[in-house]
Chain A
């Protein structure tokens, strides 16, 4: 009698496959690891963060970790899923025992795996640069980072599932640059003009950056930022479910 492999095996296989695909892709690796590393070093050796803090690396590291979630969830999954959709890969895999739910669970595993690798690479580099994170903030930071990855992955899938892959490529790369520069990821939204600051704090990027900075710099749980982040995760997830087109 023919039978599918177990759900756990199917999902783990797909997760491993998607992780390897992301890690083997040169552009993905650039935006997931190399550019965040450059941002970390850049913010540490230049005086850009001096107006906010006495310890550049302690402020740079949480922001760069937030940037990693945008790299992997929004840009990485957005582009990969957009092209998979164009080439019918999503439809084909939907007809195998993996199915649509298995595909999505596989993507969750891939995002978490790549994020774990990024955290190790950025974490080790930051420690070498003198980072001393607040031990009490590590667990809340991990939870908020995963929540942020969920929000940005949902946004990436929403774009990939509604726009052409070329447009997805352009939009997600542009968003990555804009959010890194002016979205509150690397620099606190407090640094922006008063008219812009309240709006900026409603951005998922700003919420994630602020949440990680509060946790890892001051061992504080940033409730406002966490609520904003949770709202984005739920809304973007629902929107992706509603509007994502598989073909």
Chain B
């Protein structure tokens, strides 16, 4: 980690939501032990399945809701108690955009820019994100990708030091995605601290300098993508994953030397520090059993594998 002050520091976060009618009006502890540090000039990703607590964590970080426990420091201040001064240094793109539906993008961005003493150049921002093509169409008639771009522009218009992006690639067409991802890289180079949530492996692997994996309201792992996908489990030294598809219910006794599991019927996973001899052993096993696998795939561990190891639940 760089030797600078974190722009966001969350320790031991606890948040109860509710009351929930289905649980006799009890509160539900949706966050119980999230910790997270983000630094300027870095993209920090919160990775987790839907409902893991990513958005609630962001709401606490943005000062939209008061945590029930733990500490949150945003640019050294408590975001819930801080005023307009702190908010002028932070840009937020909400998951659903948070845009008024009846207004047109360009007047909207000018309106939001008016809230800041020295906003970004609105025209340049509009051009950079290609909003000029639909700048006078009411927000409600825009596509999902166009709305995302307007929401990103609205988050950036105050020229923030810290940028929060909740699921930035949700609903993006490939063209919008390229525009948005390029801009995120550029902003990182400018020195912004960027904190984003995603349930997409691709996003985290492409964008993030540092990843916090959130599961069931807790930070369960963190590191750079490279660190996380390297051996995390020292005892098994897992580094690669090989999967093959064949008929269900194979007798795996002939592969005693390898760690093989039938993860779903007909799909087999071989995990380990695989060496050429292991592949030869596999091929021999297939020959003996007279099997021709319908698919074979081998790759280094991905973030998804790390996530599966930790939570036992799949991500999309």
Say whether B115 contacts A13, CB under 8 Å: yes
Q: Are B64 and A96 in contact (CB under 8 A)?
A: no
**In the complex, A119→B96 CA distance in Å?**
38
Within 8 Å CB of B18, what residues of A? Answer: none
Point out the residues of chain A lying under 8 angstroms from B84, CB to CB: 4, 7, 10, 97-99, 102
Closest A residue by C-beta to B164:
A95
CA distance A247 to B114 in the complex (A): 24
Are B115 and A92 within 8 A (Cβ)?
A: no
How many residue pairs link A and B with beta carbons under 8 A? The number is: 94
Q: Mark A20-41, 1 if CB is under 8 A from B, else 0.
A: 0100110000000000000000
A3 lies within 8 A of B85 (CB): yes
**Residues of chain B with a CB closer than 8 A to A92's CB:** 92, 94, 97-99, 151, 154
Cβ of B76 under 8 Å from chain A: no
Check A25–B102 contact: CB distance below 8 A.
yes
Most buried by A among B90, B99, B100: B100
- Interface residues of A, count at CB 8 A: 29
CB-based contact B87/A97 at 8 Å: yes
| A196 beta carbon closer than 8 Å to chain B | no
CA gap between A157 and B102 in the complex, in Å: 20
A95 touches B96 (CB 8 A): no
- Contact check: which of B90, B101, B115 meets A83 at CB < 8 Å? B101
Contacts of B151 in A (CB 8 A): 92
**CB of A31 to closest CB in B, whole Å:** 16
- Separation of A89 and B63 alpha carbons in the complex (Å): 16
Q: Which residues of A contact B94 (CB under 8 A)?
A: 88, 91-92, 95
Chain A 92-129 interface 0/1 with B at a Cβ cutoff of 8 Å (1 = within): 11111111001000000000000000000000000000
Contact in complex: B100, A89 (CB < 8 Å): yes
What are the residues of chain B within 8 A of A91 when measuring CB–CB? 64, 94, 98
Chain B residue at minimal CB-CB distance from A25 = B102
Given A95-B62, A95-B90: A88 and B115 interface contact (C-beta under 8 Å): no
Instruction: Pick the contact of A87: B98, B114, B117 (CB < 8 A).
Output: B98
7 more A-B residue pairs beyond the given contacts A13-B114, A21-B103, with a C-beta to C-beta distance below 8 A? A3-B85, A4-B115, A13-B115, A21-B102, A88-B97, A95-B94, A97-B88
Chain A interface (Cβ < 8 Å from any Cβ of B): 2-5, 7, 9-10, 13, 17, 21, 24-25, 83-84, 87-89, 91-99, 102, 246-247
Q: Across chains A and B, which 8 residue pairs bring their CB atoms closest together, nearest first?
A: A92-B98, A88-B98, A95-B92, A4-B88, A4-B84, A97-B84, A3-B117, A97-B115
Seen from chain B, the residues whose Cβ lies within 8 Å of a Cβ on chain A are: 62-64, 83-85, 87-90, 92, 94-103, 111-112, 114-118, 151, 154, 158-161
19 pairs, CB–CB < 8 Å, chain A vs chain B = A2-B88, A2-B160, A2-B161, A3-B85, A4-B115, A9-B114, A21-B102, A24-B102, A25-B102, A83-B101, A87-B96, A89-B98, A89-B100, A91-B64, A92-B99, A96-B87, A98-B115, A99-B87, A247-B64
